[in-house]
Structures are given as C-alpha cells and as structure tokens.
Amino acid sequence: MDLLTHWIANTPDFAIPYALAALGLIVSERAGVLSLGAEGLMLVGALAGIGAVLAVHDPGVGLIAGMLAAALVSVLFAVMVVWLRINQVIAGLALVFFCQGLTGLLGTVLGWTNQPVSGPEAVALGPLAALPLVGGLFRQNVAAYLVPFIFVGVVGWLHHTASGLRLRAVGESPQAADAAGVPVLRVRFWAIVAGAALIGLAGSYIAVASTKLWIAGMTGGRGWIAVALVIFARWSPWRALAGTVLFGGIEALIPQLAAAGIGLPQYFVLMTPYVVTLGVMVWVALARRPRRNARRAGRTLFA
C-alpha cells in the first residue's frame, strides 16, 4: 500500500514535463510545422532555469527564464523553416545537436553543473491532502498546480478563439488561409516561438522543480518521447494528456520498485520508457490498419 501511495503521489512530477512538451509541440504542429527540436529546447530551458535560480534564488523566475530562453533559441529554427524554407526534419535535428552542445558547454564553463538549488515548495490542499491513497496528488509544488490551468488555457485558446482558429487554419490549409487574408508566415513563426516556450517550461520544470540541479543531457530523451506522444495522440491535446499520464506513471513506478527492494538491471530501467514508446506506436499502427483495409475494400466494392 505504501508503494502504491508513493507511486500515485510522484506520478504528476514525472508526467508534467511530458504534458508541457507535448502541448508545445501541438501548438507548433497545428500551424503546419514539424518540430523535432523538443529535446534540445528542453535542455535550454533546464539550463536557463537553473542559472536563473542560482542568480536570484527564486524558482518562479527560473521557470520563466526557461520559457524565455527556449523561445529565444527557437527563433533560429523559425527563421530556418519559415523564411529560408529549410527542410523541417533537418532543421529540427540540427537544433537538437546545437542545443546539446551549447548547454553542455555553458553548463561547464559557468560552473552550473551539479549545483543544487531550492525548488518551489510543496503545498497541501487542505483536507484533500489527507485522503487515503490519493492524498499525495494534493501535496504538490506550486508549479504543478498551475500546469492544469496552463493546459486548459492553451487548449481553449486553440479551439475557442479567433487567433487559435487562424493558427489551425494555417496548418490545415495554408493556401485557403492565405486567400482569407491570414498572414501564414507570421502565424507559423509565432506558433513556433509559443510552442518552444512551453517546451522550455517543461525543461525548466525538470531542472528547477524535480531534480533541482543541472546535469548535461539531463532531459534523457524526454523530448523525443514527447514527439512520439503527439504522433500517438494524432495532435489531440487530450489524448496527448492521457499519454503523458501513462508515461509519467511508468517513470514514477521505477524508483518505487527500487525503493521496495525489487532489483532491476540499470540498463533495463533506462530503456523502459523507449520500449513503451515503441510498443505504443506499434499498437497505434495495428489499430489503424483494419480501418484502412475497410476503406480500401469499400473503394474496391463500389469502383
């Protein structure tokens, strides 16, 4: 029972970075831009967040600094793919390698590696925190409580505002949007920047609120898993959120099993999230195949 209680309580801490990164990717990709640079942007957000906390000793400033730093770096990617028309896949991969090298260099030169910081304090939500089994869900840090509001706000903006409608129109039919007077290039540019800010927040959350220090490559492939989550969810925010809970729960379970004395090989633990990612992608592909075959059979029947 203790293992289950701690597992449930720790799941949000692991799921939140996935949720924020997936949401940022959806904003960008709904505008018609394939963004593969999430891993690099998360590293930039993590490094900037730690640097800001070390400078001003305020976790909130660290989280905002991560957003701003990732948004700033994303301008390079936006210029490449929006105005210079460079292949989005190549530009995204180049951005990841650039950010990995840049953050590793700056973290070492500035002496921010392995420097512990104080993260946001945990806050108990009254009687809810005393509930059996699930009470730990209501003893999270302040930033964790804000994430659901960010998620709902961004989804509401995408689906219930004129600017969100323009963004989705640009992604679905840029020619029709341009004919309607929508500035396609400008919308795509700001969608990339806004999505990168959310991805940077995911990275700074890992560094400032979860691990509370900086280590080179500390995101550990979470950006790539977020990309797979978005594809698995077919760019639906709510399906992506369900996927983040799944992956967050898997990651949260691993240290709980170790604490309970269940020995697991180190490399098995490291590969588990990626094995699950591959499994989910295969399952989605197999689930979609019968529908494709049915549509193909229908076309043959009525040809």
Can you say whether the dihedral through the CA atoms of 100, 96, 234, 202 is positive or negative?
A: positive
Q: Token pair of 9, please?
A: 């309580």
DSSP label at residue 214:
B
**Spans of all domains in the chain:** 1-288
Q: What CATH architecture is 1-288? A: Orthogonal Bundle (1.10)
What does pTM read for this prediction? 0.88
Note down pLDDT in tens along the chain; length 303 residues: 677 888 888 899 999 999 999 999 999 999 999 889 999 999 999 999 999 999 999 999 999 999 999 999 999 999 999 999 999 999 999 999 999 999 999 999 999 999 999 888 888 888 888 888 888 888 898 889 999 999 999 999 999 999 999 999 999 999 999 998 999 999 999 999 999 999 999 999 999 999 999 999 899 889 998 998 888 788 888 888 888 888 888 888 877 777 767 766 666 666 777 777 777 777 777 776 665 554 554 444 334
Closest-CA residue to 77 (of 23, 124, 40): 40
Residues 40, 45, 48: CA angle, nearest 5 degrees: 125
- For 265-274, the pLDDT digits (tens) are 666 666 777 7
How many Å from the N-terminal Cα to the C-terminal Cα in the chain?
60
Is the CB of residue 35 less than 8 Å from the CB of residue 92? yes
